Amino acid sequence: MSTLTDTPKAAADAGETPARRRPRVDRLPYLLLLPCLAIIGVLLLWPLGQVVWMSFHRLNNVRQLRGDRAWPWVGLDNYVQILSDPFFRTVLRNTVLFAAANVVLTMILGTLVGLLLNRLSKRMATFVASCVMLAWATPALTGTIVWKWIFDDTSGLVTWLFNALPDGLSQALFGRTDWTGYGWFNSPLLFFTILTLVVVWHSFPFIAVSVLAGLKSVPSELHEAARVDGAGPWRVFWKVTFPLLRPVFGILIVLSTIWDFKVFTQQFVLAGGTQDRPTFMLSIYSYAEAFSPPPKYGLGAAIAVILTLILLVVTGLYVRMVLKQEEE
């Protein structure tokens, strides 16, 4: 009697394996992503590539940008000129210190407001959150103009308040009694203080609402159990709330770092342009080099690339640290 060697079992005994059917790849999700990827490429990657390409050329005339004249290739000369300039180190120091201070203050204030909103009743929390979000919804240009009027040296609110102080108290505390004409933006320290106030005011509502959303996902039973064990509010936050919201805080810190490194509008409006070089940061430094006469578009593009690389390195290191903590 003949054996059925064409069955899978017989084929396996004979050393043959039946062909495995490959899983079918569904290409529809990738096709649906193509329009979004194309838009990102046109709006983000193409301009970024243009800036990188410009940074390797000497561009001192707008006709070069229009294509009427050739772009002289200089290689890394623009980067060498920027990195060897002592003023660049001053600008980099200003940027790092300003960003660090603003990230810390924004995260602290936003977290405190988020905790407050979580403790309020639903109706009151909705009202307070709506008021807080007005700062976030206000355009940066509009909000900065308002703050510049508040610190105006003649008719500003702050000048009026200081002039309203008793002469003896004002003289004893500040050494002057007449504040009309006082330049609030002339001192670098005062300028960065006011700029920090403006940026934190505009940024903390997003942190507060994000923290509030994270707090709503924390089971209330955990907080109640910690309080039963005798933990106070401070210990409950650090031992229960913060570990559960660590991914939320990680994302918020990364976003705040990126935003604070790129501050431009607020500084440009408060300073009245690009004349106040001691208060320069990387964003306005790039703009000043590119567009202030005589224009140096190649140098401005090189500064913008350096700023982008710094943000990528800082963000990458922080994300790596967060992922490592999550694994542990």
Q: How many percent of the chain have pLDDT more than 70?
A: 89
Q: What residues in the chain have per-residue pLDDT under 50?
A: 1-16, 18
The pLDDT value recorded for residue 61 is 74
Torsion of CA 183, 196, 47, 275, to 10 degrees: 20
Contact (Cβ atoms closer than 8 angstroms) between residue 148 and residue 158 = no
As a whole number of angstroms, the distance between CA 277 and CA 92 comes to: 13
Number of H helices, E strands in the chain: 18, 0
Summarize pLDDT for 169-224 with one digit per residue, the tens: 888 888 888 888 888 888 899 999 999 999 999 999 999 999 998 888 888 888 78
3-state secondary structure 151-176: CCCCCCHHHHHHHCCCHHHHHHHHCC
Alpha helices (H) in 55-187, listed in sequence order: 62-66, 77-83, 86-119, 122-137, 140-150, 157-163, 167-174
Calculate the alpha carbon distances from 204 to 42, 108, 260, 288 in Å. Answer: 31, 9, 12, 29
The pLDDT value recorded for residue 318 is 78
As a whole number of angstroms, the distance between CA 110 and CA 49 comes to: 36
Beta bridge partners of 73: 57
The pLDDT value recorded for residue 237 is 83
The pLDDT value recorded for residue 228 is 80
